[in-house]
């Protein structure tokens, strides 16, 4: 990457987005290209950002589902997660070498315990727990199924008690706030410059990027631009009309989490979590310093941005934690309720790499995996920017591509029904015994009709299907038109 700073103050690279992906790629660019001028733009508040509200589990195996392993693309994504996990020890060491954060160490735990409990949809939970175990065995990763009574710290309601427990060695967590501080420090020490403004528009001419426009109307010229703005990446790429139907759309996977001061200052030594269910990344509790724990997280894919937590979501989260993990949490103090927007692509897979606009790069669509994958993704993109080949495994997830159909319509509809039912069980609802079976039959009909209306050729992932089902008619019409145009673009 040659230096292109000119008399007008042109920057070599502008990174749009100051979350974990933006900062990580910014650090990699600045470290590997010390002569380049790298500027990162983003407001400190990080509104709609995913990182500040993240539990920051380094979960290559705890995130595995039977649904993911049933598809080629899902297995490829899992393989990338395993690669990323291997990078974290060295990555953390390199960040901590830049100085010590007053708030504590980046890493908060080393291991994870996955619980299979009596809550949720039995077919879904049993299958996902088994999938985690299968993935661990296939990778020969260190793990052990342990007696439930040996699990540290938990004291659940007997009606929500765990039936099985799986200890995953080396799959821990980091403190997302301390990680962001360390990344900012590393970026500055590598010569990077942070501009505390948001970019609202991309500027390109004759097929080449020229720079970005800020919310104040200022134009910042650059030789290369990296869009790593999370769920807000969609707005930026949409300012270049030629990309509108070539890059899969991005929506918000809104998640509500909380920081809790436990009633007695205690906490587990490991991450505690269930398998993924109810359209979310399972209930999880992540230890933080000084008796502070993180509880997360809900998930609702939203077609329009939403930056606030609803009362229903907060009550649901706290009920799950107090019943499924520890009854003592009911008497704990709430330090903070957090809301984050995960960047969810319309086909459920990341958007990583270069575009047909020369000098424009993209890191988004990572949904719940962005933080965990960040060191791997950053190295891949920087390799491409420097003329290298990057990782062949990530080329399939380039930003401009046809929508990935990883599962059949029937498989997705089955997933929709199971996760919808799991949401009800986790609330928990109480129904006449014959109702759940009837409800599963009744639910499939409307979702099937919706899928048929949306597209003859493509079925959205289960969580997006649910968001579309409860959206306004005009939004559904817009998506029908979108799928038609995408199909025309690629055929």
With a CB cutoff of 8 Å and minimum separation 6, the contacts of 100 are none
> What distance in Å separates the CA atoms of residue 276 and residue 36, rounded to the nearest whole number?
42
CA 443-444-450 angle, 5° bins: 100
Q: Is the pLDDT of residue 6 over 50?
A: no
Predicted local confidence at residue 478, as pLDDT: 94
DSSP structural state of residue 211 = E
Name the more confident of 187 and 9: 187
What number is the average pLDDT over the span 245-267? Answer: 95
> Distance between CA 255 and CA 278 in Å, rounded?
13
Alpha helix locations (H) across 33-117?
66-69, 72-96
CA 108 to chain centre: 19
DSSP string, 289-314: GGGEEEEE---EEESS---S--HHHH
Q: How far apart are the first and last CA of the chain?
A: 35
| Separation of CA 315 from chain center | 23
pLDDT of residue 180: 96
Q: Hey, CA dihedral for 423, 443, 452, 469, is it positive or negative?
A: negative
CA–CA distance, 213 with 17 (Å, rounded to integer): 14
Tokens of 73: 């693309």
Residue 3 has pLDDT above 50, yes or no: no
Q: What local confidence, expressed as pLDDT, does residue 306 receive? A: 82
Q: For residue 146, which phi and psi values (nearest 5 degrees)?
A: -115, 160
Give CA–CA dist 64/137, Å, rounded. 13
Asked if residues 229 and 364 have their Cβ atoms less than 8 Å apart, the reply is yes
Residue reference for tokens 């705890």:
62
- For residues 66 and 64, what is the distance between their CA atoms, to the nearest angstrom? 7
pLDDT tens per residue across span 174-233? 999 999 999 999 999 999 999 999 999 999 999 999 999 999 999 999 999 999 999 999
Return the structure tokens found at 237. 């790429």
pLDDT, averaged across the chain: 94
Q: Could you report the per-residue pLDDT of 328-356, keeping only the tens digit for each? A: 999 999 999 999 999 999 999 999 999 99
Ramachandran category for residue 342: left, alpha or beta (phi over 0 → left; psi -120 to 50 → alpha):
beta
Q: How confident is the model at residue 10 (pLDDT cuts 50, 70, 90)?
A: low
Cβ atoms < 10 Å from Cβ of 430: 8
Measure the CA–CA gap between 109 and 89, rounded to whole angstroms: 12
CB 178 within 8 A of CB 94: no
Degrees to nearest 5, angle at CA 256 with 254 and 258: 155
Q: How confident is the model at residue 102 (pLDDT cuts 50, 70, 90)?
A: low
Mean pLDDT computed over 376-402: 96
CB atoms inside a 10 Å sphere around CB 275: 27
The residues near 89 (Cβ < 8 Å, ≥ 6 apart) are none
């Amino acid at each position: 990457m040659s230096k292109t700073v000119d008399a007008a103050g042109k920057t070599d690279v502008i990174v749009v987005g100051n979350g974990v992906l933006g900062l990580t790629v910014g650090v990699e660019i600045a470290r590997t290209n010390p002569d380049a001028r790298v500027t990162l733009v983003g407001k400190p508040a990080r509104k709609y950002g995913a990182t500040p509200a993240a539990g920051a589990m380094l979960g290559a195996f705890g995130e595995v589902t039977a649904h993911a392993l049933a598809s080629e693309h899902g297995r490829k994504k899992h393989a990338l997660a395993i690669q990323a996990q291997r990078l974290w020890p060295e990555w953390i060491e390199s960040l901590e070498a830049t100085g010590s954060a007053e708030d504590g160490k980046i890493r908060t735990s080393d291991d994870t315990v996955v619980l299979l409990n009596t809550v949720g949809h039995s077919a879904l939970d049993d299958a996902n727990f088994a999938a985690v175990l299968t993935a661990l065995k296939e990778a020969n990763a260190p793990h052990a199924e342990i007696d439930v009574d040996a699990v540290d710290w938990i004291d659940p309601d007997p009606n929500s008690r765990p039936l099985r427990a799986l200890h995953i060695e080396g799959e821990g967590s980091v403190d997302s706030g301390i990680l962001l501080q360390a990344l900012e420090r590393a970026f500055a020490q590598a010569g990077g410059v942070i501009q505390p403004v948001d970019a609202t528009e991309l500027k390109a001419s004759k097929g080449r990027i020229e720079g970005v426009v800020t919310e104040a109307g200022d134009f910042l010229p650059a030789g290369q631009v990296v869009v790593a703005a999370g769920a807000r990446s969609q707005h930026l790429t949409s300012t270049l009309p030629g990309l509108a139907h070539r890059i899969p759309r991005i929506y918000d996977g809104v998640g509500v989490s909380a920081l809790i001061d436990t009633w007695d200052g205690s906490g587990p030594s490991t991450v505690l979590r269930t398998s993924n269910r109810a359209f979310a990344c399972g209930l999880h509790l992540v230890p933080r310093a000084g008796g502070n724990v993180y509880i997360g997280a809900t998930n609702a894919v939203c077609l329009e941005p939403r930056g606030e937590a609803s009362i229903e979501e907060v009550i649901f989260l706290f009920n799950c934690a107090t019943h499924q993990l520890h009854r003592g949490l009911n008497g704990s103090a709430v330090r903070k309720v957090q809301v984050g927007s995960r960047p969810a692509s319309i086909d459920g897979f990341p958007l990583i790499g270069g575009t047909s606009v020369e000098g424009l790069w993209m890191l988004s669509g990572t949904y719940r995996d962005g933080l965990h994958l960040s060191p791997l993704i950053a190295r891949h993109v920087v390799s491409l920017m420097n003329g290298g080949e990057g990782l062949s495994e990530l080329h399939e997830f380039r930003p401009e591509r046809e929508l990935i159909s990883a599962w059949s319509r029937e498989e997705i509809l089955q997933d929709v029904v199971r996760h919808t039912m799991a949401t009800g069980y986790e609330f928990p609802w109480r129904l006449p015994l014959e109702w759940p079976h009837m409800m599963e039959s009744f639910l499939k009909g409307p979702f099937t009709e919706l899928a048929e209306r949306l597209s003859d050729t493509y079925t959205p992932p289960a969580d997006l299907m649910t968001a579309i089902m409860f959206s306004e008619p005009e939004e559904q019409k817009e998506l029908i038109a979108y799928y038609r145009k995408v199909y025309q673009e690629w055929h």
